[in-house]
């Protein structure tokens, strides 16, 4: 980007949209080409537990970022490397939380195809979002970020 200073990761699509797209595609695939699914009661119970766990993890990640006075929105500048709270266990707790939510919703809507599509969703987030975020953070924070990456895994 000659002549312009860009202080963000360059991510153009809000990350939750990747998960929503996978769920929608899985839902419609399942309606067209049904796969066996869990019983309604098991799917309901598991779905609720997974969504609650995902919301807890994602919220903890967001709160930790907010406490550092930075932004959770990848289109905005990052002002700090956060390495405490859930960021001591994973560099991407909000994306991990979204995976739990995704699986929980897939159970609730009884769409096994969404589970089949989940690896593609994770791959898309990893390559189209996380890779850009990591290049941006490494460029902006240098050794501080590189050292953090050497201590904490990308996912879990």
pLDDT tens column, 82-140: 999 999 999 999 999 999 999 999 999 999 999 999 999 999 999 999 999 999 999 99
**Residue 112: CB atoms within 10 Å:** 18
For the chain, percent of residues with pLDDT exceeding 90:
91
Distance of CA 75 to the CA centre of its chain: 15
Rounded-to-integer distance, Cα 48 and Cα 32, Å? 25
Tell me if residue 124 falls in helix, strand or coil. helix
Q: Check: CB of residue 82 under 8 Å from CB of residue 65.
A: yes
Reported as a pLDDT band with limits 50, 70 and 90, residue 156 is confident
The pLDDT-based confidence of 5 (bands split at 50, 70, 90) is low
Q: Which two tokens stand for residue 149?
A: 């990456």
Pairwise CA distance, residues 63 & 70, whole Å? 10
């Amino acid at each position: 980007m000659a002549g312009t200073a860009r202080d963000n990761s360059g991510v153009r699509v809000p990350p939750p949209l990747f998960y929503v797209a996978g769920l929608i595609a899985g839902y419609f695939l399942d309606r067209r080409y049904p796969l066996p699914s869990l019983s309604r009661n098991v799917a309901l119970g598991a779905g609720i537990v997974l969504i609650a766990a995902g919301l807890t993890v994602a919220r903890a990640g967001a709160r930790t970022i907010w406490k550092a006075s930075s932004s959770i929105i990848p289109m905005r500048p990052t002002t700090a490397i956060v390495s405490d709270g859930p960021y001591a266990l994973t560099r991407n707790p909000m994306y991990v939380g979204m995976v739990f939510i995704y699986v929980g919703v897939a159970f609730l809507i009884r769409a096994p195809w969404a589970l089949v599509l989940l690896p593609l969703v994770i791959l898309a987030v990893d390559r189209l979002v996380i890779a850009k975020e990591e290049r941006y953070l490494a460029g902006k924070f240098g050794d501080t970020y590189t050292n953090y990456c050497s201590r904490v895994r990308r996912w879990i």
